[in-house]
């Protein structure tokens, strides 16, 4: 049984306070690197050696991502920094745990995705029940007025109680039918007859996450894809840092097939470089950075992680050219590089305001080629020439901001 499944089973049997303590214990480390307690001291100085795991991922040029197939590496990267996303899950790679729960636990030990699906189904049922109650109350009031000439308050019973349900008092009317046979009473021979479930899920890392783990933390090894056009690599041949640097930049050029040894176009406005500058900036400040495509933004910032609270800030990356000539001669069409309309900005701001997120415009200044030589793009040392500025936007709602 995987560690994710064990964690989900233990969470289901704990009280809320104990569940929070268990969650804090499982996700205690913000990064894959762990700094243990000092083992010994020398001349008053505490000497310790950080524990740096080395995970393995496979580069996929079609999806512009790196795949972590090992369940142990996927669990480690998720629990220590919330890196990546399960390709068969909404976020946490819990596909195998859900399959085991469906087979053995009959839904008694729910994963985070199953709990979310259950709550969404209950909210949908509540809205349907409330709509039916409102329609029935309106029909009753109309009948009383037409037949008896009385005006009654819709939704109020003669004894003064409310007929229309509220979110605080409503309860699901249909409960799941309990199984006649407890899943814990399964005979050993029946368990042996069950075919083991093959874990088909992998952790999908974006190029920004993969490069951060490789370059900034040195805890990830990226392997060559098994087959590329005109090139066939043997298994377990890893990229060097220089090959990763060139390949990740070439991945954003549709006309080129990513080649490990091919030099990348020396341009400061490469989409990978611009997006990574923003990602590294917020990761280095202690934020957990996740994709924000669900809310029409580039990134979401979490204080501790998705299992603790919702994202507080939504980031829109806006590239700004230091030299307008570089933009005119650029082969890239960067998103949000052109002046945006107020209707677009109002739409994005409204979407994120409704989900209690603060919209942040992150301006990434792209250095001018006339000022900085393109030769510095041969290594990640070029990041020092970029700058990041933030502008926070809040949607003004007159009915809610009078106080």
Q: What angle do CA 121, 126, 132 make, to 5 degrees?
A: 130
Q: How far is CA 320 from CA 30, 264, 383, in A?
A: 31, 22, 15
Q: Locate all alpha helices (DSSP H) within 295-341, ordered by sequence.
A: 324-328
Residue 359 C-alpha from the chain's centroid = 17
Neighbours of 91 (CB within 10 A): 17
Cα three-residue angle 202-25-103, rounded to 5 degrees: 45
Phi-psi bin for 338: left (phi > 0), alpha (psi -120 to 50), beta? Answer: beta
Q: How far apart are CA 210 and CA 276, in angstroms?
A: 10
Of the candidates 169, 149, 150, 166, the one whose C-alpha atom is nearest the C-alpha of residue 158 is: 150
Nearest alpha carbon to residue 264 among 93, 378, 131: 378
Cα–Cα distance measured from residue 205 to residue 224, given in angstroms and rounded to the nearest whole number: 15
Return the ∠ at Cα 55 (arms to 51 and 59), rounded to 5°. Answer: 150
Kindly give, in sequence order, each residue whose CB lies less than 8 Å from that of residue 70, ignoring residues fewer than 6 positions away: 55, 56
Q: What are phi and psi of 279, to 5 degrees?
A: -60, -50
Question: How many Cβ atoms are within 10 Å of 358's Cβ, its own excluded?
Answer: 17
Active site residues: 302, 310, 357
Residue ranges in 219-333 assigned as alpha helix (H): 241-250, 271-284, 324-328
Residues 172, 122: contact at Cβ < 8 Å? yes
Please check whether residue 58 is in contact with residue 69, taking contact to mean a CB–CB distance below 8 angstroms: yes
């Amino acid at each position: 049984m995987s560690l994710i499944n064990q964690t989900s089973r233990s969470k289901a049997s704990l009280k809320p306070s104990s569940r929070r303590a268990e969650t804090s214990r499982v996700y205690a480390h913000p990064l894959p690197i762990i700094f243990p307690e000092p083992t010994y001291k020398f001349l008053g100085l505490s000497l310790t050696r950080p524990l740096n795991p080395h995970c393995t991922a496979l580069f996929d040029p079609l999806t512009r991502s790196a795949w972590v197939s090992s369940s142990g590496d996927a669990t480690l990267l998720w629990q220590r920094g919330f890196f990546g996303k399960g390709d068969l899950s909404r976020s946490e790679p819990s596909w195998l745990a859900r399959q085991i729960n469906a087979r053995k636990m009959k839904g008694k030990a729910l994963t985070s995705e199953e709990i979310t699906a259950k709550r969404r189904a209950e909210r949908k049922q509540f809205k349907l029940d409330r709509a039916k109650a409102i329609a029935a109350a309106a029909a009753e009031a109309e009948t009383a007025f037409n037949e008896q000439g009385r005006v009654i308050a819709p939704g109020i019973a003669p004894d003064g109680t409310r007929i229309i349900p509220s979110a605080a008092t409503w309860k699901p009317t249909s409960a799941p039918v309990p199984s006649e046979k407890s899943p814990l009473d399964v005979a050993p021979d029946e368990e042996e007859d069950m075919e083991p479930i093959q874990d088909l899920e992998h952790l999908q890392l974006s190029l920004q996450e993969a490069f951060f783990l490789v370059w900034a933390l040195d805890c990830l090894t990226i392997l060559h894809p098994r087959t590329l056009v005109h090139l066939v690599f043997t298994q377990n041949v890893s990229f060097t840092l220089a090959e990763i640097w060139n390949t990740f930049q070439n991945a954003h050029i549709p006309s080129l097939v990513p080649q490990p040894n091919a030099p990348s176009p020396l341009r400061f406005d490469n989409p990978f470089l611009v997006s990574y500058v923003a990602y590294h900036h917020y990761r280095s400040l202690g934020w957990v950075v996740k994709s924000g495509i669900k809310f029409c933004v580039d990134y979401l910032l979490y204080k501790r992680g998705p299992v603790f609270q919702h994202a507080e800030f939504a980031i829109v990356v806006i590239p700004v050219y230091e030299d307008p000539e570089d933009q005119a001669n650029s082969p890239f069409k960067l998103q949000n590089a052109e002046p945006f309309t107020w209707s677009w900005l109002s739409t994005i701001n409204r979407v994120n305001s409704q989900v209690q997120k603060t919209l942040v415009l992150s301006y990434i200044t792209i250095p001018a080629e006339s000022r900085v030589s393109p030769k510095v793009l041969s290594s990640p040392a070029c990041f020092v020439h970029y700058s990041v500025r933030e502008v926070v936007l809040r949607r003004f709602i007159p009915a809610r901001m009078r106080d």
